[in-house]
Amino acid sequence: MTISSSNNKVAVITGSSSGIGYETSLMLARNGFITYATMRNLNKSENIKFNAGKENLPLRLAQLDVTDDVSIKNAVQAVLSETGRLDVLVNNAGYVLEGAFEHLSMNELKEQYETNVFGLIRTTQAVLPIMRKQKSGTIVNISSVAGKFGYPGGSAYVSTKFAVEGLSESMAYELEPFGIKVIIIEPGVIRTNIFNSVVIAKNSKDPNSPYTQTTQKMASSFERMMKDASSPELVAKVVLEAVTNETSNLRYLAGKDAETWLDAKRKMTDEEFYKMMKQNLL
């Protein structure tokens, strides 16, 4: 049975069990979107289910693992069967792999790319035929200011976000003729579980590593930054603004720190920015 009408836009958000995905799912549902909060493990859905029920929101849950083609196909098919359309995809699922570049194993790197890059690609390719047929749709890719500059210990995560930036720009040209928008959201440091659940490269845990001093300094810097981190709700508000604005931009920053860093990046030479980052982080 179709539950949507031309007035009810349908949104799918990946990685909705916590953080940005969680808040974005609730934000869109509160603003009238028929929202599918998806996650790899539905056992982590209790909080969002409780809040959606309490507020009587048009929010549904669906299992979706961005690293699994069958899981994606089943989730997208379920949404289409129930609603007859799909208007917004928010590619949010991701995690942070930290460690000195020399210490990163190929398996660790591949797993990072499987979720942060190939997961985004799989999910987007699954919804594009639907959006093309509709002649409308919005793809929102949650990137990061780390998609604009690197930092010590972040080569794995940073390179996935650089990839997301390039993918998104190229997609925007191709999809515009079909009425499909591409939007990139670039948060700064956000108070979410992503930093509590950082995956540390196995070889970087060795206390005798030549990079231990750098790693420890970076850990202290992030601890400091987390004290002034923005809330995931701020990012959700930016997503809402982007998907409801008829003349949406390609890029949206989320967080004062993101604005400060990218303003410095624009105004400084590469050498000046590099020196500033070293002073601030190391």
Kindly report, residue by residue over 229-254, the tens digit of the pLDDT: 999 999 999 999 999 998 889 999 99
Mean per-residue pLDDT for 14-36?
97
pLDDT of residue 7: 59
List the catalytic residue out of 22, 151, 157, 252.
157
Q: In which band, very low, low, confident or very high, does the pLDDT at 8 lie, cut at 50, 70 and 90? A: confident
Q: pLDDT, tens digit, for every residue of 159-208? A: 999 999 999 999 999 999 999 999 999 999 998 766 667 888 998 888 89
User: How confident is the prediction for the chain on average, in pLDDT?
Assistant: 94
Mean per-residue pLDDT for 71-83?
98
Higher pLDDT, 2 or 68: 68
Residue entry with tokens 């929202």? 35
Fold classification of 10-281 (topology level):
Rossmann fold (3.40.50)
- Lowest-confidence segment of 1-10, 69-78, 85-94, 126-135 by average pLDDT: 1-10
pLDDT of residue 4: 38
Express as a percent the part of the chain with pLDDT over 90.
86
Annotation says 157 is catalytic: yes
| CA separation for the pair 150, 85 (Å, rounded) | 38
pLDDT of residue 195: 61
3-state SS of the chain is CCCCCCCCCEEEECCCCCHHHHHHHHHHHHCCCEEEEEECCHHHCHHHHHHHHHCCCCEEEEECCCCCHHHHHHHHHHHHHHHCCCCEEEECCCCCEECCHHHCCHHHHHHHHHHHHHHHHHHHHHHHHHHHHHCCEEEEEECCHHHCCCCCCCHHHHHHHHHHHHHHHHHHHHHHHHCEEEEEEEECCECCHHHHCCEECHHHHCCCCCCHHHHHHHHHHHHHHHCCCECHHHHHHHHHHHHHCCCCCCEEEECHHHHHHHHHHHHCCHHHHHHHHHHHHC
- pLDDT higher than threshold 80 for residue 279: yes
- pLDDT higher than threshold 90 for residue 227: no
Q: In which band, very low, low, confident or very high, does the pLDDT at 6 lie, cut at 50, 70 and 90? A: very low
| CA separation for the pair 223, 226 (Å, rounded) | 5
pTM (predicted TM-score) = 0.94
pLDDT of residue 5: 39
- pLDDT higher than threshold 70 for residue 1: no
Domain ranges of the chain: 10-281
